[in-house]
Amino acid sequence: MTGVLIVGGSIAGVRTAEGLRRLSYEGGITILEAGPDLPYDRPALSKQLLAAGESAESVMLRSQADLDKAGIELRRGCRAVGLDVEARTVRLADGALIDYSDLVIATGSAPRKLPAAHGVHYLRTLRDALDLRDAIEGPVRVVVVGAGFIGSEVAAAATARSASVTVVEPYAFPLGRVLGDLVGKRLARLHESKGVQLILGRSVREVGADGAGGRRVVLDDGTTLDCDVVVVGIGATPRTGWLAGSGLDVADGVGCDEFCHASAPHVFAAGDVARWPNALFAEVMRIEHWTNAVEQAGVVAWNIVHPDKPRAYAPVPYVWSDQYGSRLQIVGRPRADDEVRIVLDDPADGSLVALYVRDRRLAGAFALNAPSQTLQLRRALAARAPLDEIMATIGVEY
């Protein structure tokens, strides 16, 4: 086979393949996917599947017929274990070698493991989500470790399914490390208003059996929490283990240039696994969000088809999260140490918009139930508009 080889059959991999076809690429496209399933949508695992109780079919991204129609070969249960950038081959677990004219690394990320934790759930795959859904059915006691996006969405889903939920978070507030205390406090109220118990400023020392068929969570101050289910959501790490020895730069993801081109000819990376310099923010980034995987895949496809006129990838980062019927959105690069200005706070509909200002420029924004303002702010960030102009656009005086 000589054509484009994509390792990783999730959103970044599938969108790269489809992008190539849209750009009239006529060569072979093969996707290697370690997992057993057709491509599915990970954001839907914690939302449609876990919170809303929808079927596994509802989270599928593409059917086999869709892939066949697009001329995309998906090889499931097929794990890449090595890469030779000189020979331009990828090695599979059974020793077989597959050659490529261009390679796209789209192996995503894996949940960070909590040390000394036994019998806990993580949420990354369809199987994880189905197992967790079974486990949180009914009035069970759930401890969630980590109040980031995944932990918070799991807390919301478990609450909706009648579980009693405790969240343990080492920072002072949920998402406080990124968004700071002002917004973090508001998110804490959102959890607490739904009956979730937050234990903030504490971390988990270990998780084991409670001696009665359940789990016992021991915190760093010695407090113990007995429960039925423990879910850990403490971040993710890029899946680059299979690239060891390839010579690629894989310190915190696959290092790329502004064209998403890795440190060897004809090798690209997209999605959670890719790290690249974003000229719009003058910052090297690796982003673990769905929209980034989609947008970066589009640029990689373009740059494979048009090596003579490559496009730099310089997006405004965006992420959404659905919790307790509210939509959270973040655009740009907010930081806890930015100046935070709340420019909208309407108790009537629960909407909130916070701007994150750095050096008198907008660096990012957080919005709760304010999708149209989020869109405007994303556009304004892309244009690097001055702050007073941005405030005027969203109808707020500077």
Ligand X SMILES: Cc1cc2nc3c(=O)[nH]c(=O)nc-3n(C[C@H](O)[C@H](O)[C@H](O)COP(=O)(O)OP(=O)(O)OC[C@H]3O[C@@H](n4cnc5c(N)ncnc54)[C@H](O)[C@@H]3O)c2cc1C
Contacting residues toward ligand X, per CB under 6 A = 7-13, 32-35, 42-43, 45-46, 79-80, 106-109, 123-124, 150, 239, 242, 271-273, 288-291, 293, 319-321
| Closer residue to ligand X, CB minimum distance, 109 or 159 | 109
Q: How far is the CB of 391 from ligand X (least distance, A)?
A: 26
Q: How far is the CB of 157 from ligand X (least distance, A)?
A: 10
Measuring CA to CA, which residue among 365, 396, 368 is closest to residue 379? 365
| Closer residue to ligand X, CB minimum distance, 343 or 370 | 370
Residue 174 β-bridge partners: none
Q: How far is the CB of 77 from ligand X (least distance, A)?
A: 9
Query: Hey, what amino acid is at 158?
Result: A
* CA 273 – CA 288 distance, rounded (Å): 8
Measuring CA to CA, which residue among 154, 177, 158, 175 is closest to residue 232? 154
Half-sphere exposure of 95 (CA within 13 A, CB side): 0
Within 10 Å of residue 196's Cβ, how many Cβ atoms? 24
| Closer residue to ligand X, CB minimum distance, 160 or 357 | 160
DSSP state of 391: H
Q: How far is the CB of 398 from ligand X (least distance, A)?
A: 30
* CA 42 – CA 25 distance, rounded (Å): 27
| C-beta of residue 118 within 8 angstroms of C-beta of residue 41 | no
| Closer residue to ligand X, CB minimum distance, 91 or 341 | 91
| Closer residue to ligand X, CB minimum distance, 82 or 214 | 82
| Closer residue to ligand X, CB minimum distance, 321 or 376 | 321
Q: How far is the CB of 40 from ligand X (least distance, A)?
A: 9
| C-beta of residue 288 within 8 angstroms of C-beta of residue 282 | no
Q: How far is the CB of 306 from ligand X (least distance, A)?
A: 22
Q: Which residues does 367 contact at the CB level (< 8 Å), separation at least 6? A: 328, 329, 330, 331, 351, 352, 353, 354, 373, 374, 377
Q: How far is the CB of 340 from ligand X (least distance, A)?
A: 22
| Closer residue to ligand X, CB minimum distance, 59 or 380 | 59
H or E element that contains 215: strand 215-219
Q: List the strands of the sheet with 224-227, edge to edge.
A: 204-209, 215-219, 224-227
Q: How far is the CB of 328 from ligand X (least distance, A)?
A: 9
Q: How far is the CB of 166 from ligand X (least distance, A)?
A: 20
| Closer residue to ligand X, CB minimum distance, 46 or 278 | 46
Within 10 Å of residue 142's Cβ, how many Cβ atoms? 26
DSSP state of 256: B
| Closer residue to ligand X, CB minimum distance, 107 or 166 | 107
What does the DSSP assignment read for 49-109?
A: ITTS---GGGGBS--HHHHHHHTEEEEET--EEEEETTTTEEEETTS-EEE-SEEEE---E
